[in-house]
């Protein structure tokens, strides 16, 4: 479906994102694309100034830009205070979210007689649902998923192919778990006994609150005792590993390959960039930001930004990075100074 730019402006205004069109307000937009790929019937956006040069060559029918951005003559632009927020609303309006097929309960699914499946659920072939499972309304479970005994799944959830939910785990409403992820596997719990590792029974569970999205091939360990918790609205990218007994707060964002050890407490609105590693039994405060590939060995205070291995306040880490890059030059300077000192020593010795 195509929308006139004037119609998109109305939609953005309803979302509290007032915008102004400069150019052809009646131009029809049928898609959203990057500046490089967009055509005349599509809209794009510029949120990062480093891509400004692409404005000169884009074939987009219109571009969402900031209010201050200079645009080429003749280009139709939609000026917004926050281009990234504006394009997000436009993508939702023009393309919408992925729609799940409505298949009902496939006869080839294996569902225990004691399981309760809510109204409007779609259970695909190849799904196995064990005893005493409770599944809410409008849940979609794709082929290859296994839902173990005593699991609770809320309304409007989606489990993509080959997701495994271990026994006793709880998913809230509107939880999405992408393909290949495992919820509630045993944590790394072993005790050294007479030189051997004795497995500690992992008798806790995982609880995932409402509106959480888990990426592909993530693993969330069940607690040894009690629960591992993922707070409301938190979003995981792919390949995230959460250790047993860890508690993640609300509205956090973890980028790919983050690893959090066991018994960690993470506050609300925490961002961890790619390949962050968190040691066990630490506290990460609210609103903390942890840079990519950081190795966190100590508590991180609220509202702080850290980077590096081991992680340090980001200003200190950047100074350290700068020094490391200068090490070859510093090494040469030291060698020259050593040679000069040696030369001075020989000169003094010859005079003595």
Rounded distance, CA 327 to CA 95, Å? 51
Please give the C-alpha separations between residue 87 and each of 163, 233, 255, in angstroms, as whole numbers.
31, 21, 21
The mean predicted confidence, pLDDT, of the chain is 95
Q: Which of 32-36, 157-161, 325-329 has the lowest mean pLDDT?
A: 325-329
Confidence band (pLDDT; 50, 70, 90) for 243?
very high
The predicted model gives 49-67 an average pLDDT of 94
The predicted model gives 208-232 an average pLDDT of 98
Question: How much helix, strand and coil, in percent to the nearest 5, is found in the chain?
Answer: 20, 30, 50
Q: Is the dihedral of CA 144, 121, 237, 87 positive or negative?
A: positive
310 and 293 Cβ atoms separated by less than 8 Å: no
- pLDDT at res. 153: 98
342 or 262: whose pLDDT is higher?
Answer: 262
Instruction: For domain 3-95, give the fold.
Output: 3.40.1390
CA angle 172-87-53, nearest 5°?
135
The predicted model gives 63-79 an average pLDDT of 95
Please give the C-alpha separations between residue 95 and each of 91, 92, 100, 158, 202, in angstroms, as whole numbers.
6, 6, 14, 19, 44
Classified as helix, coil or strand, 322 is helix
Q: Decide if 244 is catalytic.
A: yes
Q: Where are the alpha helices (DSSP H) in the chain?
A: 5-14, 83-95, 314-325, 327-351
Q: Which of 8-12, 96-100, 143-147, 251-255 has the lowest mean pLDDT?
A: 96-100
Q: Is the dihedral of CA 108, 111, 116, 122 positive or negative?
A: negative
Q: Where are the domains of the chain?
A: 3-95, 110-315, 321-352
Tens digits of per-residue pLDDT, 130-157? 999 999 999 999 999 999 999 999 999 9
pTM score of the predicted model? 0.88
Tens digits of per-residue pLDDT, 155-183? 999 999 999 999 999 999 999 999 999 99
Rounded distance, CA 333 to CA 196, Å? 52
Beta-bridge partners for 213? 176, 235
* Structure token pair of residue 8: 């998109």
Rounded distance, CA 264 to CA 283, Å? 6
Rounded distance, CA 208 to CA 318, Å? 36
> 110-315, superfamily in CATH?
Hexapeptide repeat proteins (2.160.10.10)
Say which of 100, 244, 269, 281 is annotated catalytic. Answer: 244
Classified as helix, coil or strand, 124 is coil
- pLDDT at res. 352: 65
3 and 27 Cβ atoms separated by less than 8 Å: no
């Amino acid at each position: 479906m195509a929308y006139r730019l004037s119609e998109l402006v109305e939609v953005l205004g309803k979302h509290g994102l007032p915008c102004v069109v400069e150019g052809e307000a009646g131009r029809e937009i049928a898609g959203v694309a990057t500046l490089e790929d967009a055509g005349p019937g599509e809209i794009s956006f510029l949120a990062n100034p480093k891509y400004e040069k692409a404005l000169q060559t884009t074939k987009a029918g219109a571009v969402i830009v900031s209010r201050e951005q200079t645009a080429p003559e003749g280009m139709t632009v939609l000026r917004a205070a926050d281009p990234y927020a504006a394009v997000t609303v436009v993508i939702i309006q023009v393309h919408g979210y992925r729609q799940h097929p409505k298949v009902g309960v496939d006869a080839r699914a294996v569902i225990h007689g004691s399981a309760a499946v809510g109204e409007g659920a779609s259970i695909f072939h190849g799904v196995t649902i064990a005893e005493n499972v409770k599944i809410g309304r409008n849940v979609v479970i794709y082929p290859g998923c296994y839902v173990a005994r005593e699991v609770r799944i809320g309304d409007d959830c989606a489990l993509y192919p080959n997701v495994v939910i271990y026994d006793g785990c709880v998913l809230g409403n509107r939880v999405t778990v992408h393909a290949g992820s495992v919820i509630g596997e045993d944590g790394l719990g072993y005790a050294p006994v007479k030189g051997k590792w004795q497995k500690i029974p992992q008798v806790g569970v995982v609880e995932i609150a409402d509106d959480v999205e888990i990426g592909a091939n993530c693993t969330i360990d069940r607690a040894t005792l009690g629960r591992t918790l993922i707070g409301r609205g938190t979003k995981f990218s792919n390949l995230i590993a959460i250790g047993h007994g860890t508690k993640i707060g609300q509205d956090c964002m973890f980028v790919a390959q983050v690893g959090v050890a066991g018994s960690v407490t993470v506050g609300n609105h925490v961002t961890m960039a790619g390949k962050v590693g968190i040691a066990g039994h630490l506290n990460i405060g609210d609103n903390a930001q942890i840079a990519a590939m950081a190795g966190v060995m100590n508590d991180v205070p609220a509202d702080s930004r850290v980077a590096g291995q081991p992680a340090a306040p980001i200003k200190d880490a950047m100074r350290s990075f700068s020094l490391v890059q200068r090490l070859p030059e510093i090494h040469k300077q030291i060698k020259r100074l050593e040679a000069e000192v040696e030369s001075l020593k020989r000169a003094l010795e010859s005079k003595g």
